[in-house]
Structure 1
């Protein structure tokens, strides 16, 4: 076993955490918030539901956190496969490589990123089409899909304090 300096070990560890793991999604191109906090507004609009954008009822597990390992894993799988299910259903509009390219901040690419994230959320269990989180559970992605801006203002659509 070769001795390794502590500083080299820490440097290697730091670089591994600041970049996407090989084959995974680059979290730096994902908004830090989707504008809704899962579990907020329980039973206020509809019994058994929580509150989404524009006071629409959503499942209380929606949306996943942008840095949720489960969300990132499912997004990576879908982007790698190019489809959520089969080739006849729910094709993703962007490849994993293009999604991960943080140097591409064009509105067109950001719109494609938002569309892919929304598609994964809407089909979150990845086994039954349409079983997941509706678009109103992630208003920031809706704004991003329309404008191409990451972190667009959707504060008036969220459920903070509701």
Structure 2
């Protein structure tokens, strides 16, 4: 048994090192992990509600203005809204897309589309689920009429 003691100690230390490396790798939202030669971000393992990473696309800013949705409304939905998984693409690679909805302080029912990748959460667009607004924002699909007008002019 005395001859086996050093080997047992080495095995226990190796297990402890493996456990600590694994536990340390799970700590923190923004650490990158090597998986099969590919670097992935741990934030991509679920919706991260950290507001400090939020950015707004030009399209989202236009939609917010048109639909009277404030930055405070967006942030409140990000913190407290419910993920609508049927409208989300959580397995999208490399950046999952989440449709998060809820009610603003003004009791407007809105849905916000967030894309989470790397160290950013981008607001892609937002909708008022109870009221339609006529918006013309960059990146909107062109109607057949508008396309015809562009061709004619």
Shared fold, TM over 0.5 = no
Give the TM-score, by structure 1 length: 0.28
Greater share of strand: 2
